[in-house]
Amino acid sequence: MIPKITLAIVDDHILVRQGFIALLKEFNDVEVIIEAANGLELLDQLSVKQPDIVLLDIEMPFMNGSQTTDLLKERFPHIKIIILTMYKDECWLIDLMERGVNGFLQKDVDIEIIIGAIHEVMTNNYYFDKHVSATVAKRLVESRKNPNGQKVDQLSAKEVEIIKLICEENSNKEIAEKMFLSPRTIDSYREKIMQKIGARNTAGVVIYALKNDLLKKD
């Protein structure tokens, strides 16, 4: 039997939490094990049990989504984070990506999209809908800046190709097959790439690729 994906719902509006929980109960492969009104309540419950994924609101009292993300990444780096929002501002999208969130969801999307995003994050580590992808791509490609002074020419042609394949949502196994290398070799390349560009996760790799215009068509 395949284990259920365990979830935490963190939102200061009780009706929103209850609505998500009621909808998610219709699916047998997920289970909400934590319900919290803010980051402080979540962290208190994490000492007892830890979910696979936290569905996290941004605007909350006592501890907001950004502050909660930072503490989760510091104390529970294995827990994945999907931000729940009604906002579409570019600045905080990029900020939260750089903090290490694994995905974004609009609160008013269909439940099937939410379930799809949950599975996508569990399988490929991140999920960005069309709006987020377009918004972030536009913002970063327009900037054409790398604040850390990193240069693309420090990467080999093979490393650039791997970055492109990562941004196309290929798994390490799929990248290995396309490049006729072993998965272990790709693991090694991926680790070296992330060290070179200063990325902490897949989102960081995507941000780097966009900032340096690596995704343009040849």
Q: What are residue 84's phi and psi, to 5 degrees? A: -100, 130
pLDDT at 39: 92
Quick check: 106 pLDDT over 90? no
pLDDT, mean of residues 176-190: 91
| Residue 155 three-state SS | coil
Mean pLDDT of all residues in 181-194: 91
C-alpha torsion sign, points 160, 171, 66, 94? positive
What local confidence, expressed as pLDDT, does residue 27 receive?
93
What pLDDT is attached to residue 210?
A: 73
Domain-ending residue, one of 103, 129, 155: 129
Higher model confidence: residue 143 or residue 97?
97
Same domain (yes/no): 39, 87: yes
**For residue 198, what are its two tokens?**
């200063």
Q: If you average pLDDT over every residue of the chain, what do you get? A: 83
Helix count and strand count (H, E) for the chain = 10, 5
Residue 192's CATH number: 1.10.10.10
Segments forming the whole domain that contains residue 100: 5-129
pTM for the model stands at: 0.66
Could you give phi then psi for residue 83, rounded to 5 degrees? -80, 130
Indicate if the pLDDT at residue 204 is higher than 70.
Answer: yes
| Residues 86 and 164 occupy one common structural domain | no
Q: What is the pLDDT of residue 87?
A: 62
Neighbours of 171 (CB within 10 A): 15
Average pLDDT for 181-207: 85
Q: At 146, is the pLDDT very low, low, confident or very high (cuts 50, 70, 90)? A: very low
Are 113 and 206 within one domain? no
Question: Is pLDDT of 10 > 80?
Answer: yes
Residues 6+ apart with CB under 8 A from 25: 32
Q: Does the pLDDT of residue 42 top 80, yes or no?
A: yes
Same domain (yes/no): 10, 103 = yes
